[in-house]
Every structure is written in structure tokens, then in C-alpha cells.
Amino acid sequence: MFIRLKICFIFWILFSCLSFSQELVTNKQKSSISFRIKNFGFNVKGTFTNFTVKSRINLEDLKSSFFNVQIPVKSIFTNSKSRDKHLLKPDFFDVQKHPFIVFKSSEFTSQQHNKIVIKGDLIIKGIQKKIKATINVRRTDNNTVFTTKFKLNRKDFNVGGTSLVLSNTVNVTMIYVANRN
């Protein structure tokens, strides 16, 4: 009887660990990538309506974690067809030469309870820059919710050229809801 309980306990621990560190599956209905930038002093908001996330985030072993994002630039949506079309042109995202925005994580560190810092490479318009962001982590019964906000300088990625009316600062918000597979 004791051996049977011991074996059951070992299996329970094994499956608990495996379920926590498995690859996450994106809940596309609840996940979003949005941005905000000032143009002529007014906030212009937009989203990317399509993106792919490949991730495994193990809060107990961050060294084995990864978080990679690929965004088709043509999925940009600002609620203005003419603006969206203009953003795809060479002076902004140049979708013909650079169809994707890509982020690849390189390092995770625990900052405090339910917060991790992620570092990685962001590639926009063929230009690769190292970025760092703090991610808030919230677990529910079947989901894990990752939320981050960070700022980018659009000129670092040669997006939008020089402009007296367009802010250099882009505020980015990502809400990633993952179902545990």
C-alpha cells in the first residue's frame, strides 16, 4: 500500500512539473498587440490583428523559457484604411521588403512576485535592437495572462522618417493570454 502511494505521489509531482513548463497555446480572442503614437498632438491608436507567439515560460526555471513573436506588418489596423495603406509603404514599415516584425527572447530574470524581466532582439524593417520589458504574470484556472507595456523610438528602426508632427515615442502594449496545453 505504501509503495503504491509513493508511486502515485511521484507521478503527481512529475505531471505537475510537466504541465507547468509546457509550451503555451495562444488564446487569440483575448490576446492583443496595440500601439499609440502622437501625430499632430493627437493620439493615434492601432493594433496588429494577427501575430504568432511561440512560448514556454517556466517561472520555476526561467533559463529554459522562451518567448518569440512574429507579426505580419500587413495586419496593422488604425481604423483608417488610407493611413494603414500609408504605413505599409517604404517610408514607414516597407512591407514589400520587410513583411514581419519579429521578437526573439534571449534572457528572463525574476524581478519580484508575478513579474519577470524579458530581454531580447526586436527586428523592425530589418533593423535589430535589443529591448527589455517587464512582464506582469497572472494565472487563472486554465490560462496564464502576460501583460507588458514599453516604449520604442520609431527612429531607431527608421520608421516614419523625420517629422515635426509625428512623435518619436511609440507606446506598445501586449496582452498575451495563453491556454495551458
Grid cell of 67 as nine digits: 518567448
CATH code of the domain containing 133: 2.40.128.110
Please tell me the predicted confidence (pLDDT) of residue 22.
57
Show the CA angle centred on residue 29, arms to residues 27 and 30, nearest 5°.
70
In a domain, 27, yes or no: no
pLDDT along the chain (181 residues), means of 10: 43 38 79 96 97 88 92 98 97 98 95 90 98 93 92 97 93 92 60
Please tell me the predicted confidence (pLDDT) of residue 172.
98
In a domain, 12, yes or no: no
What's the whole-model pTM score?
Answer: 0.84
Please tell me the predicted confidence (pLDDT) of residue 66.
92
Q: What's the rounded Cα separation, in Å, for the pair 155 and 158?
A: 5
14: Cβ–Cβ under 8 A, 6 or more apart, which residues? none
Per-residue model confidence as pLDDT tens digits over 56-105:
888 888 898 999 999 999 999 999 999 999 999 999 999 999 999 999 99
In a domain, 4, yes or no: no
In a domain, 77, yes or no: yes
Number of domains in the chain: 1
In a domain, 8, yes or no: no
In a domain, 115, yes or no: yes
Q: What's the rounded Cα separation, in Å, for the pair 23 and 40?
A: 43
Torsion of CA 108, 37, 177, 132, to 10 degrees: 0
In a domain, 5, yes or no: no
Please tell me the predicted confidence (pLDDT) of residue 131.
97
Q: What's the rounded Cα separation, in Å, for the pair 54 and 44?
A: 29
Q: Which structural domain, as residue segments, surrounds residue 148?
A: 33-180
Please tell me the predicted confidence (pLDDT) of residue 114.
87
In a domain, 49, yes or no: yes
